[in-house]
Chains A and B, each alone.
Chain A
Amino acid sequence: MSYPVLGGGFFLAGRAAAETKRRLREAGLAAELVRRVVVATYEAEMNICIHAVSGRIHLRVENDRVKVVATDRGAGIADIAQALRPGFSTASEKARQLGFGAGMGFANMQRCADSFRITSEVGCGTTVTMEFWPRPQTEETGP
Chain B
Amino acid sequence: MTVIEAAESLGLEVLTGPQGLPRTITGACASDLLSYVMARAKPGYLWLTIQVHPNVVGVAELLELAAVVITDGQNPEPATLEKAREHGVTILTTPDPTYAVAGKLYGLGVR
Q: Is the CB of A39 within 8 A of B33?
A: no
Q: Is the CB of A102 within 8 A of B53?
A: no
Q: Is the CB of A38 within 8 A of B62?
A: yes
Give the distance to chain A from B51, nearest Cβ to Cβ, in Å. Answer: 5
Q: Is the interface of A mostly helix, strand, loop or mixed?
A: helix
Q: Is the CB of A105 within 8 A of B35?
A: yes
Q: Is the CB of A102 within 8 A of B54?
A: no
How many residues of A are in contact with the other chain, CB < 8 A? 25
With contacts A99-B32, A99-B34 taken as known, whether A13 is within 8 angstroms of B55 at the C-beta atoms is yes
Complex interface: chain A residues within 8 A of B61 (CB):
18
A108–B34 alpha-carbon span in the complex (Å): 11
Residues of chain B having any CB pair with chain A under 8 Å: 32-36, 38-39, 42-43, 49, 51, 53-55, 58-59, 61-63, 79
Residues of chain A having any CB pair with chain B under 8 Å: 10-11, 13-14, 17-18, 21, 31, 35, 38-39, 42-43, 46, 98-100, 102, 104-105, 107-108, 111, 142-143
